[in-house]
Structure formats: structure tokens, C-alpha cells
Structure 1
Amino acid sequence: MTLKRMDNVLIVVDDLEAVKAFFIELGLTLEGETTVEGPLIGKLVGLERVRSTIAMMRTPDGQGIELDKFHTPNAIRYGPVDAPVNTLGFRRVMFSVEDIDAVVARMRAHGAELIGEMQYGTTYRLAYIRGPEGIIVALAEQLG
């Protein structure tokens, strides 16, 4: 059996509207949104009395980010919102962009915080930004 592809990454959020707006500003599109609930969903995710709203975001090349707002049971915050990059667990998602300076400026104008930036030789420029709910997004621009 061979791995075929990655379908999406899940991010559990509290303020679904703010996080959707952040990713739309970054360049993703909202593919769809729905509320799911009931015993089958609970059995799948290992929780009881689940009710959540899911928004599926897509990158221009079709990759998915699933945003999930739990109504019941309430989501649990584990650690600080502004946890550093070396915190255990999934910490960031990276996107390839054109004109990293323009993307960083646009995202900062919409409330994102610049964590840091660097140039990797003559091949890439990188920047880390923090968006709503502490979500870390890495941006990579291929040079030349």
C-alpha cells in the first residue's frame, strides 16, 4: 500500500470568522462550510455529543486546510496562544508565495505579527508570521 497524497490539515479554532478572513487574505479560497454533529461524527473523532462547524479552505494548487470550530464539546486550549515554534506538536504551515515583502505587508495590515525573516543563501527568502489564535504561517519565496 502506498501513500497517495495529503488531503488536508485540520486547525481547530475558536473564532472561525477571523481565521477564515486571515486565510482568505493570504490567498486561499473558501471551498465550503457546514455544521456536523451526531453519534457517527463522535465515533469518528472519539468525542461525545459533537457539534462543530467546518470550513474548508483551498490553496490555488488545490491543497486543503480544514478549519473546525467546536460548539460541543468546547475546544480545549493547551498552552499559550502565542506558543513559540519549538512547542511540541504541529506548529506551522508553509506556503510558497511571490513577493514575500508584499504578502507580509498585506498580512501585517490585517493584524498578523511578523515573527522573523531571513534569506537562505541565494535560493529562498523565508518569513514567519503569527495570525489569529496564534496560528503560525511560514512564507517562502523562491529567488532567481
Structure 2
Amino acid sequence: MSKSQLLRMDNVGIVVESLDHAIAFFTELGLRFEGRATIEGEWAGRVTGLGNQRVEIAMMVTPDGHSRLELSRFLAPAVVADHRDSPVNALGYLRAMFTVSDIDETLARLRKHGAQLVGDVVQYEDSYRLCYLRGPEGLLIGLAEPLGSNR
């Protein structure tokens, strides 16, 4: 019997309070809105372990079509914890990193959606310019601009 093979990473999920604000922010970043749906019922709760749940989701996809971001707004059961203000060295989900062609221009656009730079935009050798920012609802997002031969 052969070992099962990993085929791909399907998506990363983020729980938010406002799907509309999150969709607008990630659309401005450059992801494409793929669809929105309500997931509910006993079958869904069996997957998550939450019982009878009702969740509104929105799927965002990267321009290359290879990666997705699933935004979720829990209607039932209620949200039980909030980790959005956790510092970079906290355990668990930390951030999603996105590669952009121009970090300064991207930051300027995202600031119009309430994004705030966490530290500074820094350059790592001749390879990347990098930064972390807080997006809607305090979500931590990383941006990387490839330089030189990484472009």
C-alpha cells in the first residue's frame, strides 16, 4: 500500500466580523472574489466539531488561481475568542503573506481601507522589501516585494 500524497493546499481560513469589509480589503489587495455562501447544518458541524452551525463564507482567489482565502462570519455558534491583536510571536495562526509588485503603491491603496503598518518597510539583502500591516478588524497581513533576480 502506497503512502497518500499531498495534492495541494486548498485555502487558508480567517474568521471575521464583517465579510463586506474583508472582501473589499482583499479585493483591493488584488485577490478576486470567487463567491459567497451560507454553510449550515449538522453535517458542517460534524466537520468542525461545533455542532449545528451557521456560517457565512466568502472565497477569495489569488490572480494565479492557485491559492484561496476563505473568509468566515459565524452566525451560530457565537465567536468564542479573539486573537486579532496578538503580537507576531503569539502561538497559532499569525498572518498570511502576499507577494506584490510594488509595496509602496499597495500600502497606499490598503491604507484607504484602514490598513496600518505594524513596524517599518524593510529590505532584506537584495532579495525582498517586506512589511507587516494590520488590515480590517486588526488582521495581520504580510507583504513582500521581490527585488533583483527574485522579480
Shorter-normalised TM range: over 0.9
Q: What is the alpha-carbon root mean square deviation over aligned residues?
A: 1.1
1:82 positional shift: 2.1
Map of 1:13-32 to 2, 5 A cutoff?
13-32=16-35
Report matched runs for 1:55-134 at 5 Å.
55-62=58-65, 63-79=67-83, 81-116=84-119, 117-134=121-138
Aligned 8 A contact 1:83 1:134 in 2: no
- In the other structure, the counterpart of 1:39 is 42
Q: TM-score, normalised by structure 2?
A: 0.90
Shift of 1:20: 1.1
Q: CA deviation at 1:104?
A: 0.9
- Which 5+ residue runs of structure 1 have no aligned equivalent? none
Aligned with residue 52 of structure 1, among 55, 59, 65: 55
Which secondary structure does the structure 2 equivalent of 1:74 belong to? coil
Q: Which residue of structure 2 lines up, in the alignment, with residue 138 of structure 1?
A: 142
Gaps of 5+ in 2: none
May I ask how many residue pairs the two structures share in their alignment? 143
- Identical-residue share of aligned pairs (%): 52
With normalisation by structure 1, the TM-score equals 0.94
